[in-house]
Amino acid sequence: MSPAKAPRTISRKGKVSRIARAKQRKKPSAKPSVGGEADFLARAWTMEVEAAERYAMLADAMHEHNNLGVAELFRKLARIEQLHADRILEENLSKHAPALPPGGFRWDGGEGPETADPGELHYRMQPYHALQIALTSEKRAQKFFADLARNAAQATVRKAAQEMAEDEAEHVRLIEEWLKRTPPPERDWERDPDPPAQSD
């Protein structure tokens, strides 16, 4: 691979690029479609579970490529999302997961609002980048609930969505704090002294 030629969604300075920002603007749609309160809570729970499963997958991918620091961070994010899912179950649903449509929910704009994009990964990425991905996901989730809090047909859904939006806003704040404590990526973080495209 030629790092100099690689179009980056994560810049050398660790800033989210134009592509990622455009995506952030695109998802979720302005008026997410949700039925009644039970549907809303099932979606909220599913959103957290899907986010946890995705982070676990990203952790596995980084572990396979010996980027253990980032793998552990994704693993931690997966645990956090699973805790959120468990909390939604305990507080709002029951001890049992809700019945979902086969293949899961259909989300406006693609995957669940909190699900990280696996296409954003790079095998030499650093914890700072992983946190940027998490921040983007949390902001999408926060926007999803905020939109619902404004637009949902039922008052009970609007109220629940407002609470979730506040929770997600808190998560955004926590990740931003976490980012402040995390060293920014090194200047040549992408540079691989033994690049995979080297011909033998």
Partner 1 sequence: MEPRVTTAVASAPVTAQAFKSDTKPIWCPGCGDYSVLSSISKALAMLGLRPENVAVVSGIGCSSRIPAYTTCYGLHGVHGRALAAATGLKTARPDLTVLVAGGDGDGYSIGGNHFLHACRRNVDLTYIVMDNHVYGMTKGQPSPTTEPDWDSKLSPGGTGLRTFHPLVIALAAGANFIARAFSGDPNGTADILADAIRTPGFSFVEVLSPCVTFRPEQREWKKQVRPAPVATTDDPARAARRIITDDGFNIGVLYKGNRKPYRASVDRATKPLTDLESDFVI
Q: Which of 37, 60, 86, 163 binds partner 1 (CB under 8 A)?
A: 60
Residue 111 in the binding site for partner 1 (CB under 8 A) = yes
**Contact with partner 1 (CB under 8 A): which of 66, 103, 155, 194?**
103
Does the N-terminal peptide bond of residue 196 adopt cis geometry, omega within 30 degrees of 0? no
Q: How many residues bind partner 1 (CB under 8 A)?
A: 40
Contact between 25 and partner 1 per CB under 8 A: no
d(CA 84, CA 71): 20
Q: 153-191 burial by CB neighbour count: b if 16+ within 10 A, else e? A: eeeebeebbbebbebbbebbeebeeebeebeebeeebbe
Footprint (CB under 8 A) of partner 1, residues 164-193: none
Give the residues lining the site for partner 1 (CB under 8 A). Answer: 1-2, 5-7, 9, 19, 22-23, 53, 57-58, 60-65, 67, 100, 102-104, 106-107, 110-111, 117-123, 125, 196-200
